[in-house]
Structure 1
Amino acid sequence: MAPSLVIYGAYGYTGELVAREAAARGLPVVLAGRDSERLARLGRALGRPWRAFPLTDPEALRAGLQDAGAVLHCAGPYVDTWRPMAEACLELRVHYLDLAGEAAVYRALAVMGLHAERAGVMLLSGAGFDVVPTDCLAAHVARRLPGAVRIAIAIDALGRLSRGTARTVMAHAGDADARELNPHQPAARRFDLGSGRLEAVQVPWPERVAVPRSTGIQDVAVYLCASQARRLLLRAVPAVAPLLALPGARALAVRLLSGGAAGPDAEARARGRSRVYAEAVDAAGARAASRLALPEGYAFTAHAAVEIAARALAGYAPPGWHTPASAYGPDLVTALPGVTLEDLPLARPASP
């Protein structure tokens, strides 16, 4: 029997999108999670087997991963769930993939990288919109400008969040990682992502950890293009984080961020678009910049995560801790449906 792809958290909003895409591509999927009733319903709909087991029971977790070639972990907040799954994968020599957007998860998996390399296991965080397009585009501009010392990334994609994403944002709003910006680059900038210059604010997103792994460049800043109201909200999150401990405050914040819905509906996913910009700058001031146009973020995540999982199942899974671009190169993103790349002309400083 061919090794299976275990999708844990398959009945969540993003997990179900991933599971349906994997089933449509004919991958040997096993649906997994804690809730047997929801798994049974999804299993009937997709014609795929399922296994119910909690992450808190090591014996059940190991049994649930038997015959797996790879796990696609879709159950967040990942900072609370990654460790038991990743440790079980290492023990059983199963490749581990997740959709984490928390920098702390990337740092923790990096510590396990040598162990994973010796075990022949790939540990890869960020197999979805976090961080496939940004990581790959950063690696692309670094490739265009050998000797680059600084990278800036801008993202224009903040539509409606799923409830799961909103819970992750609120669960760790006050964490140190959520407050960590790059002091060597501006707190706010303007970027042209293809339709004129947009205001953007620096955010402490996991590219700060992923891109140095992919490019070797340590000076990385990530910016989110957003309305003035959202920029003010992002800046205020660390200050108001203590208030989230008040009864009902966190649940209210989740409802406000997600609009009360599980996530964008099929029409919104089909209609939505995302854009990413990255620039690399060398010590002399030369600049290489490129832009990506992509599908809506959750739709993109389903395609990207399943493509990476398919490659891992096929044996293309370099061992150790990896990001999407370090494992599969900058061109991974342009192999995905609905993605277009535009390289802007190289800019070099004028001669004195």
Structure 2
Amino acid sequence: MALRWLIYGAYGYSGKLIAHQAKKRGYQPILAGRNEDTLEPVARHLNFQYKAFSLDSIDKVKQQLEDVDLVINCAGPFSQTAAPLIQACIDTKTHYLDITGEIDVFEYAHSMDKAAREAGIVICPGVGFDVIPTDCIAARLNAQMPEAEHLALGFDSGSRMSRGTAKTSIERLGRGGAARINGQITDVPHAWHSRWIDFGNGEKYAMTIPWGDVSTAYYTTEIPNIEVYIPASPRSVKKMRRMNWFRWVFNLRWVQAKLKKKLESQPAGPEEKERKNNPTYVWGEITDAKGNKKSMRVKVKNGYSLTAEGAVELAVHTLSQKQSGGFYTPSRLYGAKLLDQFTIQ
């Protein structure tokens, strides 16, 4: 079948990586984004068709999707772009994927499950590093201990964040952390919990962060208590905990604007050499009511490389396999075997 799909936000850092990965695999998606002056050179370089349009009017977005079977949304912050694109995709019966890591966006996407089922389309956010590897580990651990009550996930990488990821992180600073407690997503302080963890490259001190799996891993496993960790020095953990006393400052628009402006002078994201030299170590631990534990560790490709490959793989899978409509996590859409494509021995 002809694969008619579109990458929105194709001139951003991850959007470009996904477009190049599609080209490498012999596909020709349509590239799209708000700014035609920035979009056109990217499309010309790859010899792809393009469409320049904003998301201000859902009716106009629907017109642009009339000849499209699937959209990959790469335009963050997804808190601003996911809802209009998802609504337009439902109305035009177009599958929707994105590379978000934003908890609120995952929750919104899940709330559209019934509408997606009625439209016969797949809604699957998080088809990049957020949250493919952690989601697959959660699924595999849950298969080993289906009665588990607690799930901890985490990852470690020396790779720098892209500008887009950093900007999204700034938007969350004022709210603090997040965890799932007794089935409910709950705002918690920054660095709420800390512990020593061996992610696969030696034991390191780590703290909790508001990662997307707080939302998605619950829909994959139904485990009611979920936390996500990254390495952080004891000094950094203390600093984050002190920040809790004045984190409300980061909700001020001018503070967020100032912090985001500082990022503009930084590179868009890690170059190819840095990505190749910085794989990611991913860890998971599951616990039942009796205190029995099982853990899993894998080394995978750099998060941004994984995002590019994972987004294309799930787009092709969605278009080439008959799917029932509804909300999916990556491991529910493809199966936990998806992880094997990105594992490094």
Is TM > 0.5 for Structure 1 vs Structure 2? yes
CA distance in 2, matches of 1:32, 1:250: 27
TM-superposition CA deviations, 1:28-56 (whole Å, max 9, x none): 30000011122110111101000000000
CA distance in 1, matches of 2:246, 2:280: 29
Contact 1:36–1:52, Cα closer than 8 Å, also in 2: yes
Could you tell me how far 1:292 is from its partner in structure 2?
1.3
Contact 2:193–2:207, Cα closer than 8 Å, also in 1: yes
CA distance in 2, matches of 1:124, 1:246: 32
Q: Alignment partner for residue 274 of structure 1, among 266, 280, 300?
A: 280
Contact 1:275–1:293, Cα closer than 8 Å, also in 2: yes
Contact 1:325–1:332, Cα closer than 8 Å, also in 2: yes
CA distance in 2, matches of 1:229, 1:50: 48
Q: CA 1:245 to 1:302, structure 2 compared with 1: closer, same or farther past 3 Å?
A: same
Query: What's the counterpart of residue 205 of structure 1?
Result: 211
2:187 paired with 1:181: no
CA distance in 2, matches of 1:160, 1:237: 22
Letter in 1 for 2:203: R
Task: Note the 1:98-247 alignment, pairs <5 A.
Answer: 98-157=98-157, 159-175=159-175, 178-182=176-180, 187-232=193-238, 234-235=240-241, 239-244=245-250
CA distance in 2, matches of 1:27, 1:234: 44
Query: What's the counterpart of residue 50 of structure 1?
Result: 50
Contact 1:148–1:281, Cα closer than 8 Å, also in 2: yes
Q: CA 1:233 to 1:48, structure 2 compared with 1: closer, same or farther past 3 Å?
A: farther
Q: Alignment partner for residue 297 of structure 2, among 291, 298, 310?
A: 291
CA distance in 2, matches of 1:259, 1:278: 35
Contact 1:70–1:313, Cα closer than 8 Å, also in 2: yes
Q: Alignment partner for residue 329 of structure 1, among 322, 326, 335?
A: 335
Could you tell me how far 1:286 is from its partner in structure 2?
2.0
CA distance in 2, matches of 1:263, 1:340: 22
Q: CA 1:190 to 1:311, structure 2 compared with 1: closer, same or farther past 3 Å?
A: same
Contact 2:36–2:52, Cα closer than 8 Å, also in 1: yes
CA distance in 2, matches of 1:139, 1:255: 39
Contact 2:6–2:30, Cα closer than 8 Å, also in 1: yes
Query: What's the counterpart of residue 7 of structure 2?
Result: 7
Q: CA 1:254 to 1:157, structure 2 compared with 1: closer, same or farther past 3 Å?
A: farther
**Superposition RMSD in Å:** 2.3
Could you tell me how far 1:253 is from its partner in structure 2?
2.9
Partner of 1:68, secondary structure, is coil
Contact 2:200–2:298, Cα closer than 8 Å, also in 1: no
Contact 2:155–2:230, Cα closer than 8 Å, also in 1: yes
TM-score, reference length from structure 1: 0.88
Query: What's the counterpart of residue 350 of structure 1?
Result: none
Number of equivalences: 337
2:326 paired with 1:320: yes
Could you tell me how far 1:259 is from its partner in structure 2?
7.1
Contact 2:317–2:334, Cα closer than 8 Å, also in 1: no
CA distance in 2, matches of 1:142, 1:258: 41
CA distance in 2, matches of 1:5, 1:232: 46
Letter in 2 for 1:313: L
TM-superposition CA deviations, 1:73-103 (whole Å, max 9, x none): 0001001111000000000111100111111
CA distance in 2, matches of 1:158, 1:203: 17
TM-superposition CA deviations, 1:256-302 (whole Å, max 9, x none): 67871111112111211111100111222222211110111111111
Letter in 1 for 2:321: G
CA distance in 2, matches of 1:233, 1:7: 39
Letter in 1 for 2:178: E
Q: CA 1:230 to 1:303, structure 2 compared with 1: closer, same or farther past 3 Å?
A: farther
Q: Gaps (5+ residues) in structure 2? A: 183-187
Contact 2:127–2:330, Cα closer than 8 Å, also in 1: yes
Q: Which moved more, 1:146-155 or 1:120-129?
A: 146-155
Q: CA 1:128 to 1:247, structure 2 compared with 1: closer, same or farther past 3 Å?
A: closer
Query: What's the counterpart of residue 16 of structure 2?
Result: 16
Partner of 1:180, secondary structure, is strand
Could you tell me how far 1:105 is from its partner in structure 2?
0.7
Contact 2:180–2:215, Cα closer than 8 Å, also in 1: no
Contact 1:156–1:226, Cα closer than 8 Å, also in 2: no
Could you tell me how far 1:71 is from its partner in structure 2?
0.3
Could you tell me how far 1:252 is from its partner in structure 2?
4.7
Could you tell me how far 1:174 is from its partner in structure 2?
1.8
Could you tell me how far 1:69 is from its partner in structure 2?
1.3
Could you tell me how far 1:246 is from its partner in structure 2?
6.4
Contact 2:163–2:266, Cα closer than 8 Å, also in 1: yes
Could you tell me how far 1:126 is from its partner in structure 2?
0.6
Identity of aligned residues (%): 33
Contact 2:181–2:226, Cα closer than 8 Å, also in 1: no
Letter in 2 for 1:86: I
